[in-house]
Amino acid sequence: KAGVTQTPRYLIKTRGQQVTLSCSPISGHRSVSWYQQTPGQGLQFLFEYFSETQRNKGNFPGRFSGRQFSNSRSEMNVSTLELGDSALYLCASSFSGAQETQYFGPGTRLLVL
């Protein structure tokens, strides 16, 4: 069974630009979560989607947004990029939520210059 896939794998942007990252969950999984990983803060929760609805959101500014489509694929968008947004963005999927095992994708490495 195919794992979680994320595109693109690497991205370089400049301050002020916006970016969209994509995540395809494991087949049959309806919950998709996004995390930001930085050396200083570790893994921080961004938001979680289930059946196209955002159920929870972490402590990130409104520049970070996401959505989920009817096929459970998810996208996250970051507008007006800042240098501090440079990070590894990870997507994880599960059947119904974080109370069960979440499987992570390889991540998208974003560098903001």
Partner 1 sequence: EDQVTQSPEALRLQEGESSSLNCSYTVSGLRGLFWYRQDPGKGPEFLFTLYSAGEEKEKERLKATLTKKESFLHITAPKPEDSATYLCAVNSPYNTDKLIFGTGTRLQVFP
Contacts with partner 1 by CB under 8 A lie at 4, 6, 31, 33, 35, 42-43, 45, 48, 50, 55-56, 58, 88, 90, 92, 97-107, 109
Nearer to partner 1 by Cβ, of 17 and 68: the residue is 68
Give least dist CB 63 to partner 1, A.
19
Give least dist CB 35 to partner 1, A.
8
CA 23, 24, 25, 31 dihedral sign is positive
83 by Cβ neighbours in 10 Å (0-12 / 13-18 / 19+) ranks as exposed
Sheet with 5-7, side-by-side order of all strands: 5-7, 19-24, 74-78, 64-68
Give least dist CB 93 to partner 1, A.
11
Give least dist CB 109 to partner 1, A.
7
Nearer to partner 1 by Cβ, of 9 and 15: the residue is 9
Q: Please provide the DSSP assignment of 10-45 as one string.
A: EEEE-TT--EEEEEEPPTT--EEEEEEEETTTEEEE
Nearer to partner 1 by Cβ, of 16 and 101: the residue is 101
